[in-house]
């Protein structure tokens, strides 16, 4: 199979960033092998990791340019999960990057069909008062995509029952960072459950926290 020169490949740098993100999610231990997938929005649709190609072996020209209707350019096929990427981009104008992983603790909770409640204030990092678990559906199906889009309503991350998790963001860096945070929260929640059901912050407190998160982590010059 012959690929065109990367020097003439559209969105060459973005393709490299997608590969880097996919490799990093494995290196960070929040994904394994060829599972999971990564995408980024483009003017024409989105770029997504290919199906069946190890991230360490992937080349920029193998990152698949895909339209929102699922049509794609070239001979390399996109991830089997392209559908929920397309539907999330269609539903969420604020999302420009998506990371899907099979991280251990998030997937453990997903296999139990558990939402992650506001046992810790950092749940607000995912955009709401909890991290929802979408109902199970077969991978790659419209049903799974519909469940994922619904679970992400007002949220930037969700679990997928008996499957894994999705994190979204304005950039690949932010989507990956959120995926790491969700896995950390899932681990803490799982550990707390070994002792008992932890207390949960109420809606009043989470409303305060969510408002504070609007400027969380930003360098704001003090007013004198």
Q: What pLDDT, in 10s, does the model give residues 126-168?
A: 999 999 999 999 999 999 999 999 999 999 999 999 999 999 9
pLDDT at 217 exceeding the cut of 80: no
H-helix segments, the chain: 12-27, 82-91, 104-111, 142-151, 172-193, 203-212
The whole-angstrom distance between residue 54's C-alpha and the CA centroid of its chain comes to 19
Active-site residue flag, 81: yes
Q: Which fold has domain 6-212?
A: L-fuculose-1-phosphate Aldolase (3.40.225)
Q: Among 13, 81, 173, 181, which one carries the catalytic annotation? A: 81
Task: Say whether pLDDT at 5 is over 90.
Answer: no
pLDDT in tens, 78-118: 999 999 999 999 999 999 999 999 999 999 999 999 999 99
pTM reported for the whole predicted model? 0.92
Name the band, by pLDDT with cuts 50, 70 and 90, for residue 73.
Answer: confident
């Amino acid at each position: 199979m012959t690929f065109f020169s990367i020097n003439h490949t559209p969105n060459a740098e973005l393709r490299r960033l997608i590969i880097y993100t996919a490799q990093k999610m494995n290196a960070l231990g929040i994904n394994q092998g060829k599972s999971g997938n990564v995408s980024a929005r483009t003017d024409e649709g989105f770029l997504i990791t290919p199906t069946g190609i190890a991230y360490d072996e992937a080349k920029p020209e193998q990152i698949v340019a895909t339209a929102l209707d699922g049509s794609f350019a070239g001979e390399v096929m996109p991830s089997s999960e392209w559908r929920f990427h397309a539907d999330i981009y269609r539903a969420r104008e604020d999302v420009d990057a998506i990371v899907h992983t099979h991280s251990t603790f998030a997937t453990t909770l997903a296999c139990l069909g558990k939402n992650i409640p506001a046992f810790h204030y950092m749940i607000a990092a995912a955009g709401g008062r909890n991290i929802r678990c979408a109902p199970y559906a077969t991978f790659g199906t419209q049903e799974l995509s519909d469940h994922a889009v619904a679970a992400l309503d007002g949220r930037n991350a969700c679990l997928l029952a008996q499957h894994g998790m999705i994190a979204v963001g304005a950039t690949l860096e932010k989507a990956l960072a959120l995926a790491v945070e969700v896995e950390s929260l899932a681990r803490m929640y799982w550990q707390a459950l070994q002792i008992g059901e932890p207390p949960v912050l109420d809606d009043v407190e989470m409303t305060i926290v969510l408002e504070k998160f609007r400027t969380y982590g930003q360098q704001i010059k003090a007013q004198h």
